[in-house]
Amino acid sequence: MGIVELVVSIIIVLVAVALVIWLYFIRQGDAEFEFLVDQRTGLKLDSINSNVAVFSCKVPFVNKGMQDGTIMDCYTRHLLPREQYDGVELASWLAVETRPRNDGYFEALIVPKTTGETLDITLKFTAKDNDIKVALADMVDFSLDIVYQVVARREWYIAKQRMIVVADELIQALNAETTRA
């Protein structure tokens, strides 16, 4: 075998090995998270006083990928600028349903492939003019992003899933609870 044939043979072998490894990676896949905001529960009034109302809902999420994945961090980002509505101050946070905590910290979580969990999302509205029922009567729809950082087989990334908080739903939850009370 000449030197040229030897070099060509080595190159062919290396390319074949690289191809096999690449196919192995494709077949192996990775974690893939989806936050199912279209399956979230309706908003529920958790507590209310004269100027503060606290609502919550549950949002399921799944790792529909082929590998376990870790959610290193996850938090809410509400988008309610004062130009849109200036009657309330809003605070929002989330926790994993099976790991309840009230400090706003998200403990990094391994989610095995094809499994999932549920987020408890809390919205706290504080009226700027002291009467929360009056303030919420004029409430507007707004967006709320669930922002999450994932690490798995590939490098970490941050993504977000948007959900819409509908004003009518807030008011219905408020009325349902106050009627019951």
Partner 1 sequence: MNMELELIPVKTRILTPKDDIVDTIEKYAKDMIGPDDVVSVAESVVAITQGRITSPEELAPCFLAKVMCRFVPQKGSLSSVYGMQAAMAVEGKWRMAFAMLAGLLAKLIGRNGVFYELAGEQAALIDDVTGTMPPFDKSIVYGPHDPSGVAEAIKARLGCHGAAVADVNDLKRAAVLGVTKGLEPASLSKILIDNPFGNASQRTPIVIIKNYAKALAKANA
Q: Is the CB of 28 or the CB of 178 nearer to partner 1?
A: 28
Q: What is the dihedral of CA 76, 81, 87, 88, to 10 degrees?
A: 20
Q: Kindly state the smallest distance separating residue 56's Cβ from partner 1, in Å.
A: 23
From first CA to last CA, the distance across the chain in angstroms is 92
Q: Is the CB of 90 or the CB of 151 nearer to partner 1?
A: 151
Q: Is the CB of 22 or the CB of 39 nearer to partner 1?
A: 22
Binding site for partner 1 (CB under 8 A): 21, 24-25, 28, 67-68, 70, 72-73, 105, 107-110, 151-156
What are φ and ψ of residue 160, in 5° steps? -145, 150
Q: Kindly state the smallest distance separating residue 108's Cβ from partner 1, in Å.
A: 4
Annotate 40-63 with b (16+ C-beta within 10 A) or e (fewer).
beebebeebeebebbbbbebbbbb
Q: Is the CB of 110 or the CB of 134 nearer to partner 1?
A: 110
Q: Which residue, 35, 33, 63, 70, is CA-closest to 153? A: 70
Q: Which residue, 163, 165, 166, 170, is CA-closest to 135? A: 170
Q: Kindly state the smallest distance separating residue 11's Cβ from partner 1, in Å.
A: 19
Q: Kindly state the smallest distance separating residue 93's Cβ from partner 1, in Å.
A: 15
